[in-house]
Amino acid sequence: MSETVRTGGCQCGAVRFRIHGELGRASICHCRMCQKAFGGFFGPLVSAPEGGVEWTRGEPKYFQSSVNIDRGFCENCGTPLTYRYPGGLELAIGAFDERDDLAPQIQVNYASHIPWVTTIFDQPVRDTGEDAVKQEQIISFQHPDHDTEHWPAKGLHL
């Protein structure tokens, strides 16, 4: 069996991970704790293979959000990274360098969903030309979506 290695990390690059093995099911969780932890409308998570997460740079800090659950995040930039429960570990989908094949397969805790979350993609899309110009003007301090020795960039202090 060939090993699949995937990488990811937080926005600032202080915490980086590498996955050894196959990821499990991708999901979105509508519970109130995921809304708060992600500062979003739901928590997008994918199951990690047992013992298959290697922290290659830094490590998350953990907040215990309930008796059996803790949530890992970058202490430096705040990016949500993990959801750990007695049966295993899940990782934030948006933290992965490659995400195109991590489409959520199921919604959990649907009873807690924000009522309008079901309509967000019905909204009009802003002209893409306008977005492109603004993106070009950004001087980014975000870690690039791949492992690199050349980080942090000169002058950035982590």
Toward Zn ion, which CB reaches closer, 10 or 26? 10
DSSP 74: -
Determine, following the binding rule CB under 5 A, whether residue 12 of this chain makes contact with Zn ion: yes
51-86 CB burial, b ≥16 within 10 A, e <16: ebbeeebbebeeeebeeeeebbbbbbbebbbbbbee
The helix/strand/coil state of 44 is strand
Number of residues binding to Zn ion, judged by CB under 5 A: 6
Cα Rg for the chain, rounded, in angstroms? 17
Of 97 and 113, nearer to Zn ion (C-beta) is 97
Decide: helix, strand or coil at residue 130. helix
Among 6, 14, 48, 89, binds Zn ion (CB under 5 A): 14
Among 6, 8, 10, 80, binds Zn ion (CB under 5 A): 10
Candidate segments 5-13, 22-30, 107-115, 132-140, binder of Zn ion by CB under 5 A: 5-13
At its nearest, how many Å lie between Zn ion and the CB of residue 57? 10
Q: Which of residues 59-78 bind Zn ion (CB under 5 A)?
A: 74, 76-77
β-partners of residue 27 are 45, 106
Is residue 57 classed as helix, strand or coil in its secondary structure? Answer: strand
Least gap, CB of 92 to Zn ion (angstroms): 12
CB of 111 to Zn ion, least distance (A): 33
* 3-class secondary-structure state, position 119: helix
User: For residue 16, what are the β-bridge partners?
Assistant: 9, 57
Binding residues for Zn ion restricted to 72-131, rule: CB under 5 A? 74, 76-77
In the complex with Zn ion, the residue whose CB is nearer, 74 or 89, is 74
Residues binding Zn ion (CB under 5 A): 10, 12, 14, 74, 76-77
